Amino acid sequence: MIKNLCCVFLISGIIAIGCKKNSNTCGYSFSNATAPTAEQQKLGDSLTAMGIDATMASQGFYYKVNDPGDGASATSPCSTLAVFYRGGFLDGRGFDSTSSGQPAIFQLWQVIAGWQEALPLIKKSGDITLYIPPSLGYGAKDVVDTAGHVLIPANSNLVFRVVLADVQ
């Protein structure tokens, strides 16, 4: 029960960070956020030290496409996505996942900036690993649960493995 509450909480925490109003159907556009050079460098150095070969996107996150998928892709911030994911830290500790067997469903504009920029890189049934610096994730504030326990410390580099189950 507590794990399910944490999952709901963290999905809610992913939602609505880094978006802005627009005049399209859902009223939002992509964040267009870019990580500061120092964050990009620190994350890149950590990945290199760990022997992880990932591509750096112009926004400052790193990624590895495990399977590009086929079919529809998230071409709009209004795209509705169904994903299976695991979120964690560079040291391998996890903080959230879709462990219930049900995908998380949201519009792309509702998630952290790193996801907004990265998920359009794959198509339906695609699989991507994301390495997100703090400013494209949860930033300089701790993410806490309802009891006040820190789930994600401030300024954390994050790792997400995401499978795009569906795009509408």
Q: What is the pTM of this model?
A: 0.84
Predicted confidence (pLDDT) per residue in 3-45, tens digit: 444 444 455 444 444 444 444 467 777 778 899 999 999 999 9
Question: What residues make up the domain containing 74?
Answer: 2-167
Tokens of 67: 């399977």
- The CATH code of the domain that includes 73 is 3.10.50.40
Q: DSSP 3-state helix, strand, coil percentages of the chain (rounded to 5)?
A: 25, 30, 45
Reported as a single tens digit per residue, the pLDDT across 39-91 is 999 999 999 999 999 999 999 999 999 999 998 999 899 999 999 999 999 99
Average pLDDT over every residue of 83-107: 95
Q: How many distinct structural domains can be found in the chain?
A: 1
Average pLDDT over residues 127-132: 98
- Rounded CA gap, 153 and 167, in Å? 31
